Amino acid sequence: MATTHLRACDVPEVRQGLVGWADENVVRGQRGSGAMQVSGFTDPFLMQSAVRGAEQFFVNDRMTWLARDMGADLPVCAFDAEDLPDPLGFLVWSDDPCPRPTTLGRPRAVLWCRTGMSLRVLVLDDAGPFRRTLEEAGNRADPTWARQITMSLAGDLALGFGATVPLNTETEWEEIKRAWTVDKYGRPAKDRYGVGTERIDELHEMQLRVIRTLLGTLLLIRQPADERRALWQAEEVRPDVAARKRLRRAGAEHPDAPVRYITLRQSVRPAPEDDLGARDTAGRIYRHQWFVRPHRRTYPDATDPTGYSRKWVGPYLVTPAGCEDAPVLGRERVVSVLRR
């Protein structure tokens, strides 16, 4: 599982790349040369206005992991209008919202736009793997495939897939997935590249996991922000001076617009001898328990009083004082071992 190379301060430039692509897409549509369309964003002007007006968010890897596990356990798709931090939003995940080891696409960002009582969602992939594949294929690449991929590249991102999700209602997840099996006219979608029905269903299932992670992310952001209860904290991050100059040259309307950096609050600081991570030294009140992934921790070296050693600890369940019977956010990982 790879963490993205993008940082919170990079988000404005990443979005500006998408703005430039959306402007070009509108021009292609006006010229009749074929604008790129995805489910939920078949109107190039809607995508253009959504990208330009979106508030910017960055979610670090620990929050992404928590949102991914939380979304996987949600029984129904239930986006609420009040769950949206803004009607228009552009969010970059630091970690994979859905690990996809068998596909070229690596989801990294999402654009959302509220229209009435529905939510238009556009998921964007890391453009790096697509650019490398095009370079490696060279003249051997299928012309139709290469043209479509090239048209979908928007700076550091590439268009992934889109969806329209109803707001303020409970929808079965399978119903959300069925929307990808038909085209914009309601006819069965064609298997353009001949990958087969099973492969297409697998891709749709992966797409659904990203939508689940998005819902989990928004639900976590909508948790009470009271400093004594919240599991998360937000800070404003702005691009540096050099980045602001590049944004001005690129025609950005607000080159110094802030990015809301959402991170898991670091309030539990276990003592070196406390491998359960349950000692609350920050004096905060919690309402949940959560799992911590395996990681290295520094300990004083028993054989050398002036030295230190690094040891692997975890996974373990963090249980703040008074939360022994509280709900658990996330879940412990199951490791499958394959033997020949």
User: Beta-carbon neighbour count of residue 206 at 10 Å?
Assistant: 17
Does residue 212 lie in a domain region? yes
Helices (H), 90-225: 128-137, 143-152, 173-178, 197-221
Q: Residues 244, 271: one domain?
A: no
Residues of the chain with pLDDT under 50: 1-3, 226-229, 267-283, 332-340
What local confidence, expressed as pLDDT, does residue 256 receive? Answer: 86
Residue type for position 307: G
Does residue 129 lie in a domain region? yes
Does residue 69 lie in a domain region? yes
Q: Residues 37, 169: one domain?
A: yes
What's the domain count of the chain?
2
Single residue among 263, 288, 310 that ends a domain in this structure: 263
What is the span of the domain harbouring residue 21?
A: 8-263
Does residue 113 lie in a domain region? yes
Q: Residues 75, 190: one domain?
A: yes
Q: Residues 255, 292: one domain?
A: no
Single residue among 224, 242, 263 that ends a domain in this structure: 263
What local confidence, expressed as pLDDT, does residue 296 receive? Answer: 63
Q: Residues 53, 198: one domain?
A: yes
Q: Residues 18, 166: one domain?
A: yes
What local confidence, expressed as pLDDT, does residue 306 receive? Answer: 62
Does residue 1 lie in a domain region? no
Q: Residues 238, 296: one domain?
A: no
What local confidence, expressed as pLDDT, does residue 2 receive? Answer: 47
Strand pairing report for 308-313 and 316-318: unpaired
Does residue 149 lie in a domain region? yes
Q: Residues 161, 207: one domain?
A: yes
Does residue 121 lie in a domain region? yes
Q: Residues 93, 239: one domain?
A: yes
Q: Residues 48, 121: one domain?
A: yes
User: Beta-carbon neighbour count of residue 108 at 10 Å?
Assistant: 26
Single residue among 247, 263, 279 that ends a domain in this structure: 263
- Give the separation between CA 113 and CA 120, rounded to whole angstroms: 5
Does residue 3 lie in a domain region? no
Q: Residues 286, 259: one domain?
A: no
Q: Counting beta carbons within 10 angstroms of the beta carbon of residue 20, is it exposed (0 to 12), middle (13 to 18) or buried (19 or more)? A: middle
Q: Residues 70, 181: one domain?
A: yes
